[in-house]
Amino acid sequence: MIILPINHDPELAKKVIEAAQEDGDDVLYPTHYALEDGQIIGAFSLETPISTWWMHKTKGNAKKTMLMLNSLETLHSDRGNPAFVMPCTEESPYFRMMEKFGFQKLGEPVQWFYKNLYPLKP
């Protein structure tokens, strides 16, 4: 198996995404793919546009939420991102509204994992 870059080749990216979908899965914004015996067997992304969100519980309101969401979408668009991913836990007051905001569920349940490659040393 070898890992190769996609190098912003839309046709190659499409092939990688289709290979994942044919396997009953999906891959968002693939930047690299795994090739073995001439077949695409995996992929990953180093540049997935992901946003996280925080709004003060007592100082925020519906109007401010919409202003923040519109600003977030504008900033992604300005950076050339045609789409982005936003994690949202079930405990969030926004969870039930995400689809009303135009977000599509990617599957559930999803647990995010974090790995710090350069932890601060005491």
Task: List, for residues 70-104, the tens digit of each pLDDT value.
Answer: 999 999 999 988 889 888 888 888 889 999 999 98
Q: pLDDT (tens digit, 9 = 90+) per residue, 18-69?
A: 999 999 998 888 999 999 999 999 999 998 888 988 889 899 998 999 999 9
* pLDDT value of position 109: 76
Domain that holds residue 28: 2-44
Same domain for 73 and 115, yes or no, is yes
Same domain for 9 and 40, yes or no, is yes
Residues 6+ positions from 70 with CB-CB distance below 8 Å? none
Q: Kindly tell me if the per-residue pLDDT of 105 is higher than 80.
A: yes
Q: Which of 108, 106, 109 is nearest to 26 (CA)?
A: 106
Count of the separate structural domains present in the chain: 2
Q: Which of 88, 82, 112 is nearest to 100 (CA)?
A: 88
pTM: 0.69
Same domain for 87 and 117, yes or no, is yes
Residue type, 88: C
* pLDDT value of position 115: 84
Tokens linked to 119: 């932890």
Same domain for 77 and 108, yes or no, is yes
Q: Kindly tell me if the per-residue pLDDT of 2 is higher than 70.
A: yes
pLDDT interval class at 120 (50, 70, 90) = confident
Tokens linked to 115: 């790995």
Same domain for 6 and 31, yes or no, is yes
Q: Kindly tell me if the per-residue pLDDT of 122 is higher than 70.
A: no
Q: Which residue has the tokens 């001439």?
A: 38
* pLDDT value of position 42: 97
